[in-house]
Amino acid sequence: MDALVSGEWLAAHIDDVRVVDVRWYLNGPSGRTAYEDGHIPGAVWLDIDTDLSAPATRDDGRHPMPTAEHFAAVLAGVGIGEGTPVVAYDDAGGSTAARLWWMLHVLDEPVAVLDGGLAAWPGELTTDVSSYPAVTRTPRPWPAHRFMTADAVDAFDGAIFDARTAARFAQGDPAIDPRPGHIPGAHSAPWAGNLDESGRFRTSSELRERFGDSAAVAYCGSGVTACHDLLAMHVAGLDDIALYAGSWSQWGADPARAIETGG
């Protein structure tokens, strides 16, 4: 299973994978409500805020990584055992589904994102809430080389990519960003630029041209859409990549951290 799968592939393999709906909206409707209103048959829903993150704090950011124990318990609760292939989707270009992809990918679990999201699904949707027997799953530590602290980013000599919009990279958004600007030396790489006009991921060569071939770390506002850049780097064939999960919600909240503004 590749990191990206088509709707047709998923329809043909729907009984061989566990489908996970990861819809989530910043200051918008409920992802759970969207799931209940219609989802891919057999899909379960996981929440970015509570299932795929630890509680938000000023020191750690809005979406810190959950403990290994919490993540294992979440997966076990919806019947996803070790080695179960997972296909994640959302309705926003993979911008939230990529968070689950990264979390499973770094644990060497089989996982893909539905390229094109919910709109790519060729079949009917259902309102039946899926339920699976819980399984036993042993927690596995997060691999340290796949995650960076603020201090590690500060000392990093590779490429740093910011997945927020260009406007937020330059000046921030006072509604959600603790300060304007970005991490010094970072490159603006809005996650939406990984997609073509059809809403699907660009080719590996196009993404390679975008991200280069050096070691890289990605961040965003809170460590969610940064995973979209990491997925794009993976598609481009890059492997020496890491997530700064605290992202700007952590960095910008620390007055001791230097910042830059402008494009």
pLDDT category at 263 given cuts 50, 70, 90 is confident
Establish if 247 belongs to a structural domain: yes
Pair (190, 238) in one structural domain: yes
**Using H for helix, E for strand and C for coil, what is the string for 53-72?**
CCCCECCCECCCCCCHHHHH
pLDDT category at 28 given cuts 50, 70, 90 is confident
- C-alpha Rg value of the chain to the nearest Å: 18
Q: Which has the higher per-residue pLDDT, 91 or 28? A: 91
Establish if 256 belongs to a structural domain: no
The pLDDT tens digits of the residues spanning 235-250 come to 999 999 999 999 999 9
The whole domain housing 199 covers: 144-251
Q: What's the sign of the alpha-carbon dihedral 259, 56, 89, 167?
A: negative
Establish if 127 belongs to a structural domain: no
Task: Give every CB contact of residue 82 below 8 A, 6+ residues apart in sequence.
Answer: 109, 137, 138
Say how many domains are in the chain: 2
* CATH code of residue 214: 3.40.250.10
Residues labelled as active-site residues? 220
Pair (156, 193) in one structural domain: yes
Establish if 260 belongs to a structural domain: no
* 76 three-state secondary structure: helix
Task: Report the predicted TM-score, pTM, of the whole model to 2 decimal places.
Answer: 0.97
Pair (172, 230) in one structural domain: yes
pLDDT of residue 29: 85
Rounded to an integer, the average pLDDT of 248-258 is 97
Query: Which among 99, 92, 98 has a CA at the least distance from the CA of 117?
Result: 92
Angle subtended at Cα 87 by Cα 83 and Cα 93, rounded to the nearest 5 degrees: 150
The pLDDT tens digits of the residues spanning 108-160 come to 999 999 999 999 999 999 999 999 999 999 999 999 999 999 999 999 999 99
CA 261 from centre of chain = 25
pLDDT of residue 1: 87
